[in-house]
Amino acid sequence: MRQAHEQTARLIMDQVLSSKETYERQMKEMKAAGRGRDLGVSYEVMKKFVRDGNYKITLNNNAQIAREIGVFDKVLPLLFERRWILLRAPPNSSGFITADHPF
């Protein structure tokens, strides 16, 4: 999940930095939406920073957990629909004989 997020972030940065006009428009829209502040970083400096790749993209653990919980709510009913059963062989038995592909 983290790898996919990193790749997506890099693609977005490449798109935003595709031209000076796009970069400046995006920065203006972010500030207007209250999602950013003026760091005084020029297009050229940011373009070099991203191109050099001397940074690390990380995910907030709380955000990752929230995503996983959201997926869990969708997956759990599907697991119940499978009607799986867990069978345990008695401790003194030789176990179960199954096919190579028990599903």
Residue 54, pLDDT score: 84
Report the 3 state secondary structure along the chain.
Answer: CHHHHHHHHHHHHHHHCCCHHHHHHHHHHHHHCCCCCCCCCCHHHHHHHHHHCCCCCCCCHHHHHHHHHHHHHHHHHHHHHCCCCCCCCCCCCCCCCCCCCCC
Residue 103, pLDDT score: 61
What does the domain layout of the chain look like in residue ranges? 2-58
Closest by CA to 16, choosing from 51, 58, 64, is 51
- What digits encode the pLDDT tens for the residues 37-92? 777 889 999 999 999 988 888 888 888 888 888 888 888 899 889 888 777 888 88
